[in-house]
């Protein structure tokens, strides 16, 4: 009996060894004939293959963030359809086409240019290429005690067409207005100039000092940038859209007090948090709200879930940063 058991055991071991050898042979044959590759799709259509998904996507991300490098005023490139990747086995004699895939992505890209408008009485007058130049205009007009300094402001703009840029000196020379003086002559006294110029200016964008540090409410892909115009909006985009699956927890970017929690028109379900000193953050298009008005929130606390409510084309978080009611570009602080 024992001998029969041993014979069967030996046969079983031989079968297992033969089975493992067969598996290794199959794996070796597959490895010899095929290579692990990513099939690439754009808008549901297969456009080719890549062996290095990370390198290709990094190159695409760099293009989206900086353009092709031919114009320093490009703030970003709007790409409506980013590639999707699916792992597959491809015959080794089939050539991948990373360059062709990259060209298909970039050919649909719309570059947005960043520039700074110098406004007088809220009317755009001249354009400079950097915020530092815009500040130099304001400061120079202040130093020269220009009569109209309280009417001058700066507006950061993002558009698909580039404006004609003007030098700081030229803007100053065209905007400067010599300060008028009112003369009051009293009997027995000498005349004195009187008058006051409000030298405080407002900036609708740029990078305001918030006085707080922020964390990312969610991780995801940026699908629409600050200042972008599109057919689904009546005006320029006042925030940043970050795509994420429905139900993804949204965390408070900073501690504060909830000032709004509910339905807000095109924003859908939205939460607004006040962080003091006029700073607010908005979290819109939510599927669920976990906080209520008057509630004190800690930084990083879950306040809502990603959704697609209101004027939305898919699940994402619409994030806004406002200072005294003025919307600022969230990418100056996050992402």
Same domain, 225 and 187: no
**Residue 151 has what DSSP assignment?**
G
- Residue 215, in any domain of the structure: no
- Residue 78, in any domain of the structure: no
- Residue 316, in any domain of the structure: yes
**Using one digit for the tens of pLDDT, what is the confidence trace for 213-249?**
999 999 988 888 887 765 555 567 889 999 999 999 9
Decide which of 194, 209, 238 is a domain's last residue: 194
- Residue 102, in any domain of the structure: no
Query: Which residue segment(s) compose the domain that 189 sits in?
Result: 113-194
Same domain, 258 and 302: yes
**Using one digit for the tens of pLDDT, what is the confidence trace for 130-139?**
888 988 898 8
Same domain, 324 and 273: yes
- CATH number for the domain including 248? 2.70.70.10
CA atoms within 13 A on the CB side of 168: 12
Which one has a higher pLDDT value, 311 or 317?
317
**Residue 32 has what DSSP assignment?**
H
> With 60 as the cut, is the pLDDT of residue 36 above it?
yes
Which one has a higher pLDDT value, 18 or 211?
211
Average pLDDT of the residues of the chain? 81
d(CA 34, CA 101): 21
CB 135 within 8 A of CB 170: no
Q: What is the pLDDT of residue 50?
A: 92
Name the domain count of the chain. Answer: 2
Q: What is the pLDDT of residue 190?
A: 37
- Residue 15, in any domain of the structure: no
> With 60 as the cut, is the pLDDT of residue 40 above it?
yes
CB 217 within 8 A of CB 251: yes
**Using one digit for the tens of pLDDT, what is the confidence trace for 139-176?**
899 888 888 888 888 877 777 887 888 999 999 999 99
**Residue 307 has what DSSP assignment?**
B
Neighbouring-strand partners of residue 257:
274, 296
- Residue 284, in any domain of the structure: yes
Same domain, 319 and 232: yes
Q: What φ, ψ does residue 121 adopt, rounded to 5°?
A: 55, 40
Confidence band of 31 (pLDDT split at 50, 70, 90):
low
- Residue 125, in any domain of the structure: yes
d(CA 302, CA 291): 8
d(CA 322, CA 307): 22
CB 256 within 8 A of CB 273: yes
Cite the DSSP H helix spans in 38-77. Answer: 53-66
Handedness of CA 238, 244, 247, 253 (dihedral sign): negative
d(CA 72, CA 115): 11
């Amino acid at each position: 009996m024992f001998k029969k058991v041993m014979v069967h055991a030996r046969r079983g071991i031989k079968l297992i060894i033969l089975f493992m050898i067969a598996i290794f042979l199959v794996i070796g044959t597959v490895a010899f004939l095929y290579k692990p590759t990513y099939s690439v799709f754009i808008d549901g259509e297969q456009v080719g293959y890549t062996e290095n998904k990370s390198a290709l996507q990094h190159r695409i991300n760099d293009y989206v963030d900086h353009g092709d490098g031919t114009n320093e005023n490009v703030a970003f490139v709007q790409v409506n359809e980013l590639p999707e990747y699916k792992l597959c086995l491809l015959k080794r004699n089939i050539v991948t086409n990373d360059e062709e895939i990259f060209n298909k992505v970039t050919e649909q890209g719309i570059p947005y240019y960043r520039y700074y408008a110098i406004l007088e009485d809220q009317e755009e007058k001249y354009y400079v290429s950097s915020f530092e130049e815009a500040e130099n205009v304001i400061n120079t007009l202040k130093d020269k005690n220009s009569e109209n300094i309280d009417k001058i402001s700066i507006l950061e703009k993002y558009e698909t067409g580039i404006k004609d840029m003007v030098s700081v000196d030229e803007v100053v020379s065209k905007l400067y207005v010599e300060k008028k003086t009112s003369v009051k002559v009293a009997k027995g006294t000498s005349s004195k100039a009187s008058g006051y110029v409000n030298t405080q200016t407002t900036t609708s964008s740029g990078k305001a000092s918030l006085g707080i540090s922020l964390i990312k409410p969610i991780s995801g892909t940026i699908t629409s940038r600050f200042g972008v115009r599109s057919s689904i909006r009546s005006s320029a985009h006042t925030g940043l859209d970050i795509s994420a699956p429905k139900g993804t927890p949204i965390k408070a970017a900073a501690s504060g007090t909830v000032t709004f929690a509910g339905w807000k028109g095109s924003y859908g379900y939205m939460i607004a948090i006040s962080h003091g000193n006029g700073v607010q953050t908005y979290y819109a298009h939510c599927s669920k709200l976990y906080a209520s008005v008057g509630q004190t929130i800690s930084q990083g606390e879950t306040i809502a879930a990603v959704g697609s409510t209101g004027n939305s084309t898919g699940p994402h978080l619409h994030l806004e940063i406002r200072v005294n009611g003025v919307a600022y570009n969230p990418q100056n602080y996050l992402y």
